Structure 1
Amino acid sequence: MGECVKVAVRCRPLNSKEKADNRATIVEVDNKIGQVTLHNPSNDEPPKTFTFDNAFDWNVTQREVYDVVARPIVNSVADGFNGTIFAYGQTGTGKTHTMEGAPTPELQGIIPNCFDHVIEIVNSSQGKQWMVRASYLEIYNEEVRDLLSKDPKNKLELKEHKDSGVYVKGLNAFVVKGVPELKNVLEVGKKNRSVGATLMNQDSSRSHSIFTITIESIEMTQAAPEGHIRVGKLNLVDLAGSERQSKTGATGDRLKEATKINLSLSALGNVISALVDGKSGHVPYRDSKLTRLLQDSLGGNTKTTMCANMGPADWNYDETLSTLRYANRAKNIKNKPKVNEDPKDAMLREFQEEIARLKAMLEAEGGALPDAVPGAPGGPAGEVIVEKVITVPKALDAAFLEQMRRDMEEQMKAELSAKQAAALNDEQLKKVKEEAAAKAKAEAARLEEEKKKAEEEAAKMQRKQQKIKEEMQKKTQDAEQIRAEKEALAKKLKAMESKILKGDAAGGLAEVTKKKEEELKKKEADLEKKRKEEEGRRAKIAAMEEAQLAAEEKYKDKADEAEQKTKKLKKLWKKFQEVNAEVEDMYKEFQREKEDLLESIRMLQDQMQLKDMVIEAFIPPEEVQKVMKRAHWDDEREVWVLERLSDIGKRESAAGNSRRPVSASGQRRPTSDFAKLANAMGDMNPRFKSENILNLELDLPERTTYDYEGPGVDPRVQAAINAAFAEDGELIFVGSEQNVHLGEVTANVAQRPESAKKRPASARKGTKK
């Protein structure tokens, strides 16, 4: 059974700038019947009226908006449906305020209120197990980014699965256990989200963001002891605002962002128009990353609510009218939501299987964790350590043996003296002494043998004791290892069990809360039913009035007939004017959208021309051809991809231009033949060098000193000095103005007297033998 997209409209109050400029309010909101009336400030054309499921003026509270717009969707998600809530509107109309709000409880928006509601549902349930996961992404300049990643600037790819639909590959999803963790995820993502200042909004969102909460539940019944798993996915979408450059003053990066935002919102409008029209079999979901991610939310397996935000000021008439028309088209989209039961990718089932496996491992390893190590006091019975004490005799020294021999000899002498004191002679006495010595020696040998045996026994027992000690240490280590493994398994089991939430409703206050929640849901359903019936009756009354007006043909007289027909003509003329104005406004809106698209096309063309000029001026044509050969379009990823050079080389000849040049021996990187030739000709351009070294000529500083110029020296004095220090005609002194040799000494200078002893000719340099 299909249901239409629910549409609510919210109008913000005049801001301080609009109040300072004395802007007029052109929007009237009727909260009771969900009707919005828009007045055109430029002419006297009749006002335009739009009817939606809900309409909120500037006096509404955040909690009221949540209870009407989001609460039914969250309840459906908990029952296993997919749900989407997204805010749309012009920049600066309060979309982010509606979705996120402020940190204070009374001003928090739909997303934080959803956190409280989801955890409240979990805690008030009975006989169910739950798992809640959260993820946060943004679409910035048609790039999907994970706001919870360590590097939020990384681009992610969109994939599509026949069962789960469109998903983001590599998107982080965190299992949460309560409201604080959900709020922490939101705060981390908000810090990484792209925002910027424009003339219309100081903190304008420059990207579309999607906060996703996945709720899995399992309920055990007698019919299904293993339980039925239901998975609901809640998408909370904060769209970037549509904007005009003339009003926002966007330039540079802000202008590029605005262009991408308007293109994605235009693609979203095309999707809505195609879904409402119904005649076209093709819906252009692939025109934008945004529409691909919202594919299930628009015409698919999702319950969707749209909150259109608008401003009341007269200078935003065109944008407000565009937003109202946008929302009016969206309410005609029909979705086909269904409960997601026992999906293949349910993580709750995987967690249950893993928990069962860990419990089986713990039971197989001995159940409960040991409290003590085997062999320790209080440890397991049956293992008793027995210690045997062995006394080793003292070592027998020579003095001890001699003393023992003497004692035995004296004892034997005493015995013999008592028996044969008179009969012993010297020979017998000697024999007795020898026997005593032999007996003492035998006794000492016996004692030494006993000592060796005792020492061997002691060493044997020591080895045995060491072996027992090593075995006990090994058993202790094994027991500690088993204990550590059990503790790790128990810790892992506890962590996984903590991620599975269980409702604590077992009677008392929780049961009363659950009953009140059910009563509230029932009342909300009754109010929704009554509201729809009232709308139907209102439409029926209007149709009956039209029929009655058309059927009244009986008049009292000509004057009455003229009066009635004049009233009818005025009413029809008013409708005719409204239709004409509607057609004219739609034509103007079409022209504005066309101009915006043309402006975007012109800007893109300027960028393309600039890049083409840069390529033509700085990149050789043959290099451009190489790149063009390698480039191909990837339909799945919607990007241009450059193939590897090795893949190109397989398709071309071995001597192709794309073959990587071989590196020369002793060089750090490959060098082309052209570079080698230029290098050989002495070209100092570093482009042709194999090293990253610049060869630059020295730039010497200007000289700051002068040559020494001393006072003039008399030539005769200079000659005398030179003659005194000269050796065999060598130049040893340079004057300030001339060089003087020994042969140039003037004749009037006295010659040096010869030595008394002549040196050998070989000692004199420059002399011929």
Structure 2
Amino acid sequence: MESQPHASFQVYLRLRPPYQQSPRKSNGENFLTVLPPVPTASDENIECMTSTQVTIHPPSNHRSQKIETFSFTEVFDETCGQNDVFGRVVAPILEGVLQDGRDGMLATLGVTGSGKTHTILGNRQARGMTQMSLDVLFRSLSDRISRLSESQIEQCNDADAEIMDADAFMTKVTSVIEPHQIPKPNTFPTKPSVDPYIVQCPGPPSTKYAILMSIYEVYNDKIFDLLAPSNAARRKALLFKSTRSSSDRKVVTGLRKVMVTNLYDALQVMGVGQYQRSHGETGSNDKSSRSHCFISLELKKLEKNKLDGSTKIKESTFTIVDLAGSERARNAKTAGDRLAEGGHINKSLMFLGQCLELSTAQSLGHTPKVPYRQSKLTELLFTNSYNPAAEPQIAAIVVTADPAGDFNATSQILKYSALAKSSVNLRPPTVMSGRSASGSSLFSHFSVVSGYTEERPDSSLSALSVASSHRAMLSQDMMNMIVLLQRQLKEADEKIKAAEKRAEEADARCLEIEMQVREEVTSDMELRMSMMEKRMLLKLQDQAEKEEMHVDHKLDILKRTLMETNDENDRARDMEIGEYVRELEAENNSLRNEVQALKRKRANGESPLKERSLNRLKF
């Protein structure tokens, strides 16, 4: 059985070494066996061949006695260390990212406690794939690492990201998180060494690289930024959508991205992300990951044009994914929030398994559609893998398994992650007596025939007659089974047709009900609109009448005011005229009296002129 290449991922299996400091948390019975490599005619050096197959043996008390064989790209047994996994799995991905500019992805998958986080992040004695990858990146780029200018940040920031350098980021973070809570990079292990895996980057020395680091998690099927510390109740879920520059490629928008220029800064940023990640205590693990964690390293290749001095930016991304482990609530002893978290984790891993199985079917020539939009996890893992406008990413999944762990959970993960599989059922056949209408007599007669041939009768003639009779009985049983199956098939067809008819009637009834509801809603809305129109007309008429009355009232007031003003003016004018007439009459009377006095004086012989002259002399 040959291993088939996976459509999106190369799948590796890593077996966890036995527990040394604590007793085995299982039944203590190994059920996984690594098969030795099978040489072919093209294999010249058999010593360099690697194992690609593993068999799984059910425990003796298990209801299934089926031995299954699973094929992977490569199988790492319990003796393989971090350096072996890095050299075979991660180093080729980094080479493609640095030399060819392709996107790369590394993910771990397995049951809780099978060694996923140890593979990705390591422990106090050995580095994980993440630290070793960062070391290779910075040592390979060396003096070519640069910072992005403001204009370059605007040029390459098409995902509404908040981009800052490492110093500004740590200053901002330590104002929210106590510094002692963030792991110190100088306390991390420095082994294994990555000297053999340094990559020679192409291009002239003037070509520079900038590295942007972001960390986010998928928690309860929502995406959260782990580099933006905030209250858990106020965390804002991020969107996974197309970029402004390309509708074919999707990214997580609104992330905080840190410009890192050395390994120390990158490890500090990683420590902040791990501190912020959702963890919880369960019955299976003291510090169990409750989310899927993504560590994204974006490489910005800055190529300067010698003619016009402009800078062209090429991008490639290396993503490391630490998937949460599948768990059973009974074994993990979870409740409340932990139970809900476990449900979301198992659901997303179930969808991931479906996508992996269908993706494998595609590689075998079938054309099923991979439903990767069912969950945020599968959408993040598979969306950019099916982009026809871009070169496919280099991706690998390391499946971790404990050979003496949970048999059911481990076998389930192996079934949907393996590149190929086969099985052999070793359960002995059950000898049944008598005949049954369901056709079990067919298998019982096989057992009877086998048992009879072992008895070796004395006469060959009697043996032949017995065999003939058994053959006739077997043929009759087969005919009975065929008739029974045909009858069952006919009944099933009738049931299917009846169900289809009922479905059509139900659809017609639903359509009729929908039309009735639409008509009722339409008539009701028309009635409501008519009533609203009448109310509005009455309201407008009432308002118009009120406005008309208001205007009439104002006109009456103005008219009365004008009339009163005219009356007052007339009275004042009459008074002035009367006063003037009286003054004229008084003056006229005065003149008349004076004339009368002059006449009397003249009559008496007095001269008015003389009297006037005397008066002047007196004066």
TM-score (norm 1): 0.40
* More RCO (CA 8 Å, sep 6+): 2
For the pair shown, which has the larger CA radius of gyration, 1 or 2? 1
